[in-house]
């Protein structure tokens, strides 16, 4: 951790994410939440204004003190009550079968251990729970995928560990999830290396 990751990047995060205009996709994804909710990698809280009206309270984690500090400044004006903890997705501070929904938005690209993180998501989800995700990742176009791999070294430094070529579909399948819904597509604007998105609902296999 350092000045860039703790201060500069959190300070610029809302502006940078705003450039790709994801509110509609976020809102559509969050329509699928229900019950007791955990948001992993809540960051600065960009999802909070977009939760359905009936959602009044969520639990949340983020490993970045800088992100959580910026989040804390927003919470007094936020409709949704948030119980946030500083923790990584690889070691969630909750008992087994705690949540009906786990939400992940632009998180899997930057967790150090995706296998461990998805195993933790399964652990804290109830057997009939759902993992609601909106993630960018590996393009099926091999030409684009090659550029994603080439640009990873720059992206990882600039965006604090973010990778462009995360195979979201296969990672979830390998982690023991099945898809209730999965949409894959490029955003209308932005470079294809950065804007191939996976939006869906996954449930734990028995």
Report CA dihedral (113, 117, 118, 121) to the nearest 10 degrees: 180
For residue 148 the two structure tokens come to: 């994603």
pLDDT of residue 2: 84
Residue 121's closest CA among 143, 98, 140? 98
All structural domains of the chain with their residue ranges: 3-204
H or E stretch covering 88: none
Decide: pTM greater than 0.75.
yes
What is the maximum span of the chain, computed from C-alpha positions, in angstroms?
A: 46
Q: What is the pLDDT of residues 110-153, one digit of tens each?
A: 999 999 999 999 999 999 999 999 999 999 999 999 999 999 99
Q: What is the pLDDT of residues 24-61, one digit of tens each?
A: 999 999 999 999 999 999 999 999 999 999 999 999 99
3-204 CATH choice from 3.40.50.1000, 3.40.50.150, 3.40.50.300, 3.20.20.20: 3.40.50.150
């Amino acid at each position: 951790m350092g000045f860039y990751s703790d201060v500069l990047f959190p300070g610029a995060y809302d502006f940078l994410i705003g450039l790709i205009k994801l509110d509609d996709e976020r809102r559509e994804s969050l329509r699928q939440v229900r019950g007791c909710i955990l948001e992993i990698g809540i960051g600065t809280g960009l999802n909070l204004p977009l939760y359905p009206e009936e959602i009044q309270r969520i639990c949340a984690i983020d490993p970045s003190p800088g992100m959580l500090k910026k989040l804390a400044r927003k919470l007094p004006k936020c409709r949704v009550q948030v119980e946030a903890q500083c923790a990584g997705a690889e070691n969630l501070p909750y008992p087994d079968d705690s949540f009906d929904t786990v939400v992940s938005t632009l998180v899997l690209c930057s967790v150090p251990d995706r296998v461990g993180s998805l195993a933790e998501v399964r652990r804290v989800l109830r057997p009939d729970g759902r993992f609601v995700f909106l993630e960018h990742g590996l393009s099926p176009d091999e030409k684009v995928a090659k550029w994603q791999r080439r640009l990873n070294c720059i992206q990882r430094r600039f965006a604090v560990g973010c990778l462009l070529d995360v195979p979201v579909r296969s990672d979830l399948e390998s982690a023991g999830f099945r898809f209730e819904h999965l949409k894959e597509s490029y955003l209308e604007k932005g470079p294809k290396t950065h804007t191939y998105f996976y939006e869906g609902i996954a449930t734990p296999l028995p």
